[in-house]
Copies of this chain bind each other. A is one copy, B any other.
Amino acid sequence: MAEAAFQDFYPDDLALCYGCGRLNEHGLHIQSRWDGDETVARFTPRPYHTAIPGYVYGGLIASLIDCHGTGTAAAAGYRAEGRELGSEPALRYVTASLKVDYLRPTPLGVELEVRGRVREIKGRKVVVEAWLMANGEVCARGEVIAVRLPEGWR
């Protein structure tokens, strides 16, 4: 069985995200995990996730980077506090800012790898840099500024 993903630990009421919520039946179900000091998510776009024919839709790439970024932020938040993933109070981050540079067209029909690395943790804010690879080549680079949801939000 695969190791649990960060998103598997989101509380039920915060697990409905279209990108990464395990309880959104229409969603993408992006799953992120640690890989040393980096994080990784793998995703195979559906045939209709096309931009120009043969290449992956940029909005999907932005979505992958977005949810992998907030997932990485949550995992980094737990790690910074020396806590187990999923321990209470739950940490959940939302996106304040998202930037994606599309370096080359991303081929459709192969598994994509999204990797992340924490650049900064400061108070409630986590800055994550991310990059997306296909066939071993970096196709896009991104940055997510994620902000922790206040406790009171739930």
CB of B102 within 8 A of CB of A99, answer no
A57 in contact (CB, < 8 A)? yes
Chain-B contact segment, one of A20-28, A34-42, A81-89: A20-28
Chain A residue total in the interface (Cβ 8 A): 39
A57 to B50, CA, bound (A): 20
Known: A18-B50, A19-B58. 4 other contacts (CB 8 A): A17-B52, A18-B48, A18-B49, A62-B63
In this assembly, does A101 line the interface, its C-beta being within 8 Å of a C-beta of chain B? Answer: yes
Q: A59-B59, A102-B95 are in contact. Are A48 and B66 (CB under 8 A)?
A: no
Q: How far is the CA of A94 from the CA of B25 in the complex (A)?
A: 30
Chain A residues at the B interface, C-beta cutoff of 8 Å:
13-14, 16-19, 21, 24-27, 46, 48-53, 57-60, 62-63, 66-67, 92, 94-102, 105, 149, 153
Q: Which of B24, B67, B149 contacts A50 (CB 8 A)?
A: B24
A14-B97 in contact given A59-B63, A59-B67, A66-B62 (Cβ < 8 Å): no
How many monomers of this protein are in the complex? 2
| With A97-B99, A97-B100 as contacts: A19 and B52 at CB distance below 8 Å | no
Across the interface, which residues of B come within 8 angstroms of A153, CB to CB?
52
Given the interface pairs A98-B62, A98-B99, the reply to whether A27 lies near B14 with Cβ below 8 Å is no
Q: Please tell me which one of the listed residues B26, B59, B94, B97 contacts residue A51 in the complex, with CB atoms under 8 A apart.
A: B94
